[in-house]
Amino acid sequence: MELEWYYYPEQYKQMREFTKDHVMHILHEDGNYRHLRFQKPGTGIYHFDIITWPGSLVIRGDVGEGYVFTRELDMLRWFDHGQAIGHINAHYWSEKLDLGRNSVKEFSEKKFIAWLDQLSEDGIYVDRDFVERWSPSVSDLDEAIEFCAEHGIEWDSDDPENWTDYNYHFILALHCILWGAQIYNKSREKVNDR
């Protein structure tokens, strides 16, 4: 299955590799109070726990520590609402973080280069060879702003938001949450069908 770019296929692929031998253990279950552990038998490498209580969900372990989401009474159903596997919604889900969306965003060289490319497409001259040689030295928002100032590249106050993306571990955690929620929800459907 090939995922579109906005589902972050690289992290999805890595999550699938990490979890190929994982099994789910229900450590606690009392309505919306749940503690689920996903791990490969005999090892704790890349294990993760999903813990829920009414209106909240936390993921912890080797795939991303301490992300707390709050939204609906049953957060496993909120994350898994019948979409295809891998179909995360990073933008919307990040809005439900206790620490807020900006807590999981960081400078993205890839997005900064794409923004510079878009300037060229919009008719604003940006020397592509120059950008390819010098932009790799840009590693954070402050350096990106300084890079633009030093080289006469104009930017608007809202442009730096276009130079960021969700950090790797957050996206990996989202894929794990969706995957885990889908496994749990399918297991409950089988129990209810009996």
Question: How high is the pLDDT of residue 181?
Answer: 97
- pLDDT of 194 strictly over 70: no
Q: What span, in angstroms and rounded, lies between the C-alpha atoms of 187 and 113?
A: 44
Q: What span, in angstroms and rounded, lies between the C-alpha atoms of 55 and 52?
A: 8
- pLDDT of 122 strictly over 80: no
Q: Which residue has the tokens 């442009």?
A: 159
- pLDDT of 190 strictly over 90: no
List of residues 6+ apart from 66 with CB closer than 8 A: 58, 60
- DSSP letter (8 states) at residue 89: -
- Higher-pLDDT residue of 107, 130: 107
Mean pLDDT, residues 140-152: 84
Question: How high is the pLDDT of residue 131?
Answer: 67
Question: How high is the pLDDT of residue 1?
Answer: 67
Question: How high is the pLDDT of residue 65?
Answer: 73
**Average pLDDT, whole number, for the chain?**
89
Reported as a single tens digit per residue, the pLDDT across 94-118 is 999 987 777 898 999 888 888 888 8
Question: How high is the pLDDT of residue 151?
Answer: 77
Mean pLDDT, residues 13-40: 97
Q: What span, in angstroms and rounded, lies between the C-alpha atoms of 187 and 163?
A: 41
List of residues 6+ apart from 118 with CB closer than 8 A: none
Residue 155's φ and ψ, nearest 5 degrees, are -140, 155
Band the pLDDT of 149: cuts 50, 70, 90.
confident
Q: Are 21 and 101 in contact (CB under 8 A)?
A: no
